[in-house]
Chain A
Amino acid sequence: MNYLYYPGCSLESSARSYDVSTRWVFHRLSLGLKELEDWNCCGATMYMSIKETIALAFSARNLAIAEKSGGQIVAPCSSCYTILNKTNHILQENFILKAKVNQSLKRAGLEYQGTVRVRHPLDVLVNDVGLEEIKAKMVRPLKGIRIAPYYGCQIVRPEGFFDDRENPTAMDELFASLGATIVPYPVKLRCCGGMLMTTFPEVALALNREILEAAEAEKADLIVTTCPLCQINLDAYQVKINQKFGTNFRLPVMFFTQLLALSLGADRYEIRLKENIVPIPERIIGGLP
């Protein structure tokens, strides 16, 4: 399969650890991962709230480039993943909007027929590669590590292309197969508030507190996530949450590809461990080169 990597804007700045660890994992598993040529921002949720056709055209430019290169898009950021999928869906269903968008794409010498598939790396890893093969490449078993798998809201919603919309388990199975203990985590799909952290911080801080609380109640060693926005909200704002609610959280939050890479033998630079703000306990990274 020709995987076209769509890092998205966050993975270029505040979540480079997600970027490098994703590339590392794909490389280790001998999956070709070529960056989508001259990709642009997907428009995120914010563009959608201003102008519809423009938002669609904006994100469709990426789909059109992917179609030309003949491959599937792999988008690690949950928000990019959802937006690109949604654009795809709307353009496949509503041909007036599709005509409008194509009219606009023409100005850039592009056209979109509607044949591209947009995938999440978790989907590719679990379903295209398979747990057996990943396990065969394991170098460091995750034995004795208690993981709270946090999916965040946008990876299986609204469509649920590769996992259950109410109780996804792909990440649970992935890390269980590498020896980790998966704690019961009913808030695995609860929303972290996303950009509300900037616009309505009181609301977002309270949401994040619940997510941390549920992990602590189960004595999780760390939270593993699939989304740059969730990661930064839970990790960088943990101090603020503690200040505001008088709590005492000290829960590391890793990207799932960071932990996976670690288990497959990456060193601390290959997963940019320094980016994680709440330090990862020795028990997990002990002896990591």
Chain B
Amino acid sequence: MVKAKMREQEGNRKREELLREFWFQVSNIPGGQKIKRCLQCGTCTGSCPVSQTMDLTPREVIALFRAGDMENILKSRTIWICASCYACTVRCPVGIKVTDILYALKRLAMENDLFPSRFPVHALSRSFVTLVNYFGRSYEPGLLILFYLRTNPIKLLGLFPLALKLWRHGRISFIPKRIKRKKDLQAMLKEAEIMEMIIPWELEPVRSH
């Protein structure tokens, strides 16, 4: 009995924390506060080229957020399927930056480990970050290899015919390019990592409008 109650409290606390964290992320987006003005008109969903394959449409994501149900948003496929095409953002009649809100949600889900394991988008992003942090530039073949090793190594074999074709057309380079001042970049990233953390999210960022 007591345990159940504690668990419930724990759940509520977590939920509130997620909401606050999300709210902080959203307020970093120029004009992010506009999310409050959503009309639930569904224009975003109607403009989205991949909404049929989402489990929550973009409009529903905003509705759930307003109902405070962050967990269901973060568990959905929606935020990962979004291809960042900005169609929804351009068309929203009240100027809500739906795409940027979905980015904020992706970050939140990753920070809180709220996604299925071996989940492809997350794995791809991680592989990408590993590479660019090291070389300063991305390297496509390396990216795909890292990605499949993290998700489904067997599939690497299936990639072979395509790789061969690309190679024949001169579209695969074998040497990763790197920047000259790698040390500078890495020092910068370290500092940015600290910066990422120092401002507590209780602090309301000042906006110019």
Which residues in A have some Cβ–Cβ distance to B below 8 Å?
9-10, 12-16, 38-41, 43-54, 56-58, 61, 82, 89-90, 93-97, 100-101, 103-109, 153-154, 157-158, 160, 165-166, 189-191, 193-196, 198-200, 202-203, 207, 232, 236-237, 240, 272, 274-277
Q: A13-B173, A41-B138, A165-B90 are in contact. List 8 more A-B contacts (CB 8 A).
A: A13-B177, A38-B179, A40-B136, A49-B121, A95-B208, A153-B86, A195-B121, A277-B166
Q: Is the CB of B15 closer than 8 A to any CB of chain A?
A: no
Q: Which residues from B are CB-within-8-Å of A195?
A: 83, 121, 124
A198 near B90 with CB under 8 A, answer no
Q: Which of A47, A158, A165, A276 gathers the greatest number of chain B CB atoms within 10 Å?
A: A158
Mask of B72-109 contacts with A, CB within 8 angstroms, 1/0: 00000000110111110110000001010001001100
In the complex, the 4 A-B pairs of residues with the closest C-beta atoms, listed nearest first: A153-B85, A191-B85, A157-B86, A108-B184
Distance between A198 CB and nearest chain B CB, rounded to angstroms = 6
Measured between alpha carbons, how far is A158 from B93 in the docked complex, in Å? 14
B206 near A236 with CB under 8 A, answer no
A16 near B87 with CB under 8 A, answer no
Q: Which residues from A are CB-within-8-Å of B154?
A: none
At the interface with chain A, which of B5-13, B35-43, B62-70, B191-199? B191-199
A47 near B185 with CB under 8 A, answer no
Measured between alpha carbons, how far is A94 from B208 in the docked complex, in Å? 7
B179 near A203 with CB under 8 A, answer no
B190 near A58 with CB under 8 A, answer no
- In chain A, what residue has the closest Cβ to B109? A49
Measured between alpha carbons, how far is A232 from B208 in the docked complex, in Å? 40
Measured between alpha carbons, how far is A9 from B140 in the docked complex, in Å? 8
Contact of B107 among A49, A190, A237 (CB under 8 A): A49
Measured between alpha carbons, how far is A158 from B90 in the docked complex, in Å? 6
Distance between A253 CB and nearest chain B CB, rounded to angstroms = 12
Which residues in B have some Cβ–Cβ distance to A below 8 Å?
25, 28-30, 49-50, 53, 80-81, 83-87, 89-90, 97, 99, 103, 106-107, 110, 120-121, 124-126, 128-129, 132, 136-141, 144, 147, 162, 165-166, 169-173, 177, 179-181, 184-185, 187-193, 195-196, 199, 205-209
- In chain B, what residue has the closest Cβ to A189? B87
Q: Which residues from B are CB-within-8-Å of A275?
A: 169-171
- In chain B, what residue has the closest Cβ to A93? B30
Distance between B105 CB and nearest chain A CB, rounded to angstroms = 9
Given contacts A41-B132, A45-B84, are A104 and B195 in contact (CB under 8 A)?
yes
Contact of B53 among A40, A107, A200 (CB under 8 A): A200
A61 near B86 with CB under 8 A, answer no
A48 near B103 with CB under 8 A, answer yes
Tally inter-chain residue pairs, CB-CB below 8 A.
Answer: 209
Measured between alpha carbons, how far is A57 from B103 in the docked complex, in Å? 17
Q: Which residues from A are CB-within-8-Å of B83?
A: 153, 191, 193-196
Q: Which residues from B are CB-within-8-Å of A158?
A: 86, 89-90, 97, 99
Contact of B192 among A13, A101, A198 (CB under 8 A): A101
Q: Which residues from B are CB-within-8-Å of A101?
A: 192, 195
Measured between alpha carbons, how far is A10 from B138 in the docked complex, in Å? 8
A14 near B81 with CB under 8 A, answer no
A94 near B81 with CB under 8 A, answer no
Measured between alpha carbons, how far is A137 from B162 in the docked complex, in Å? 38
Q: Which of B110, B187, B191 gathers the greatest number of chain A CB atoms within 10 Å?
A: B191
A154 near B184 with CB under 8 A, answer no
Q: Which residues from A are CB-within-8-Å of B208?
A: 93-95
Q: Which residues from A are CB-within-8-Å of B110?
A: 49-50
Contact of B170 among A16, A39, A61 (CB under 8 A): A16
Q: Which residues from B are CB-within-8-Å of A15?
A: 171
Measured between alpha carbons, how far is A50 from B53 in the docked complex, in Å? 23
Distance between B148 CB and nearest chain A CB, rounded to angstroms = 9
